Amino acid sequence: MRIPHSITRIGAAAAVLSALLVGGTVSATTANAAAGSICQSALPSQAYDTLDLIDQGGPFPYSQDGSVFQNREGVLPRQSSGYYHEYTVITPGSSTRGARRIVTGQKYEEDYYTSDHYVTFRPIDFGC
């Protein structure tokens, strides 16, 4: 079961606040995005809409949304067929689906963003 991304944002902020209030420490990995990742706050606004639709189970704007992503490019970690699914991040002004996608894995919060149609992927960091 996926936990909605809005809840995970609150959870991450609460964890940092809790550590600070009780005199704990906050590691660099907690306070900053992991190397190579993209902070959720740095995503285009349309990606938030896509993440919300994923959490709600749709309806999605394109029939291809939710389809199995094959990882033919081999950029994402190797997994069995059916592990990854792709969703369109709408590109304003584009007459097609555009190049932006979110690809999800079966594990909790294993979400990747690509703005260049599968050439590069960046894990989405929901804690920043």
| CATH number of the domain within which 55 lies | 3.10.450.30
Q: What is the pLDDT of residue 5?
A: 53
Nearest Cα residue to 87 out of 57, 43, 107 = 57
- What whole-number distance in Å separates Cα of residue 43 and Cα of residue 46? 8
Sorting pLDDT into bands at 50, 70 and 90, what band is 17? very low
Asked if the model's pLDDT at residue 16 lies above 90, the reply is: no
Domain count, the chain: 1
> In which domain, by residue range, is 112 found?
5-125
Q: What percent of the chain has pLDDT over 90?
A: 66
Which neighbouring-strand residues pair with 104?
85, 111
The whole-model pTM stands at 0.73
Interval 21-52: pLDDT, tens: 444 433 333 333 445 899 999 999 999 999 99
Closest CA to 88 of 121, 63, 124: 63
Report how far apart the first and last C-alpha atoms of the chain are (Å, whole number). 22
122 vs 38: CA distance, rounded Å: 6
Q: Write out 19-42 in H/E/C secondary structure.
A: HHHCCCCCCHHHHCCCCCCEEHHH
Q: Which residues are catalytic?
A: 86, 117
| Bond before 92 cis per omega within 30 degrees | no
Q: Which secondary structure element, helix H or strand E, spans residue 105, and what is its range?
A: none
